[in-house]
Amino acid sequence: MTGNGKIEKVSIIISKGSLEGVYPGLIMANGARAEGMEANLFFTFFGLDAIHKDRYEHIKVATVGNPGLHLPTWAGAIPGVSAAMTRYMGHKMDRLDIPPIPEFVQMIADTGAGLYACQASVDLFGFGRDDFIGQVKDIITVGEFYDLAAGGQIVFT
């Protein structure tokens, strides 16, 4: 923060691989860059799906146990419900001109925001650098993330 209380840098942790887990971090990073702030995104655990070459085009709404959907848990487990809810949300976001995840990630990277994968999660899931989209700057440790975040705000979505 500056002396006037204005935030100059945010580091956003994305740990969930569902539509409602990925978009908040992307929206916050995009907003930070639009306001002239430095922004870095740290993808960990299932959040890695948002930057994984084979998965980032297929992120879905989590329907089982998602209290925001106001569905009984068993209803969310019915085959096709997740796909239907994902299509529904996609149509709503289209109307609001919110881009799909691949396009949004590219837009944010194009603004100069840093995209980083968590080394521990990459190791846990047996991934390598080639598993991730080209916009990922690096695979870093938690300690390196804290160094990168120093002097700014950390947001966990």
> What confidence tens digit (pLDDT) does each residue in 2-23 have?
567 889 999 999 999 999 999 9
- Residue 98 is given by DSSP the state P
- The sign one gets for the Cα dihedral 66, 69, 75, 80 is negative
pLDDT digit string (tens) for 19-39?
A: 999 999 999 999 999 999 999
Give the 3-state secondary structure of residue 62: coil
| Contact between 14 and 22 (Cβ < 8 Å) | yes
Given a cut of 60, whether residue 80 has pLDDT beyond it is yes
According to the model, what pLDDT value does residue 155 have?
95
Region 84-111: mean pLDDT is 94
Domains of the chain in start order, with CATH, are: 9-156 (3.40.1260.10)
CA pair distance 110, 108, nearest whole angstrom = 5
The predicted structure's pLDDT at residue 65: 82
Please enumerate in sequence order all residues whose Cβ is within 8 A of that of 49, keeping only pairs 6 or more positions apart, or say none: 17, 22, 55, 56, 59
pLDDT value of residue 73: 84
